[in-house]
Amino acid sequence: MKIKWTSKAVSDLNRLYEFLSRVNPDAAQQTLRSLSRGPDHLITNPRLGEQLYELPVAKAIGFPRPRATPKSIVVRKH
């Protein structure tokens, strides 16, 4: 498996770096390094992030599915 970055993802990383580097260039570099390496874990763990109740073993033992799934998350600034 190979990770392919979309142009939108690359653009988001660039914008994040530009934003953070104005305040703390070292933190910007470290954050970008961490975020860009993160997807590599998917190569060795392709089910990373999958909901437990979706795994075959969970279905086999009757692991309960959540009762409700949020339709949206609202964040309000105070």
Average pLDDT over residues 19-30: 96
- State which amino acid sits at residue 76: R
Q: Confirm whether pTM is higher than 0.75.
A: no
Contact between residue 21 and residue 32 where contact means Cβ atoms under 8 Å apart: no
Name the DSSP class of 55. Answer: S
Q: Which residue has the higher pLDDT, 19 or 54?
A: 19
What pLDDT does residue 47 have? Answer: 73
